[in-house]
Amino acid sequence: MEGCLFCGIVAGDVESDVVHATERTIAFRDVDPQAPTHVLVVPRDHYASAAALAAGDPQASAELVTTAAAVAAAEGHDDYRLVFNTGAGAGQTVFHTHLHLLAGRSMTWPPG
């Protein structure tokens, strides 16, 4: 999608620190990390939200989670948090589905 930051990363037009890639997903370090390990996992195809991805490509939706698990394991983490923000009111700022993988520190509840 034209003008989408994450589509630019997927296409290789925007520089990023890619840590893992599959045929359907790409994982890269967040530029504003909220934990020692903060990686974003995105589908290569553009979907505006997690709900849109789940409806449009359930297999890719599931692969985001398996990719995140592979990244966590590769970085030496057994404990980690996965977060989808869906909609501006929930904190989504880039409207290309992305899964946050957070690890390397204690997580509090509720998140805020």
Q: pLDDT by residue (tens digit) across 18-68?
A: 999 999 999 999 999 999 999 999 999 999 999 999 999 999 999 999 999
**Is the alpha carbon torsion for 32, 27, 83, 87 positive or negative?**
positive
pLDDT at position 112, please?
A: 64
Instruction: Give a yes or no: residue 77 inside a domain.
Output: yes
Let me know if residue 50 belongs to a domain.
Answer: yes
Q: Which domain holds residue 98?
A: 5-103
Active-site residue set: 98
Q: Which of 78, 66, 85, 86 is nearest to 103 (CA)?
A: 78
**Average pLDDT of the chain, as a whole number:** 95
Q: Residue 54: inside a domain, yes or no?
A: yes
CATH number at residue 89: 3.30.428.10
pTM value > 0.85: yes
112: in domain: no
C-alpha–C-alpha distance, residues 1 and 73, integer Å: 31
| 31 lies in some domain | yes
Number of compact structural domains in the chain: 1
C-beta contacts of 4-11 below 8 A and 24+ residues apart: 4/46, 4/94, 4/95, 4/96, 5/94, 5/96, 6/40, 6/42, 6/46, 6/94, 6/96, 6/98, 7/46, 7/96, 9/42, 10/42, 10/44
Q: Is residue 110 part of a domain?
A: no
What pLDDT score was predicted for residue 2?
80
Whether 109 maps to a domain, the answer reads: no
Residue 21 located in a structural domain: yes
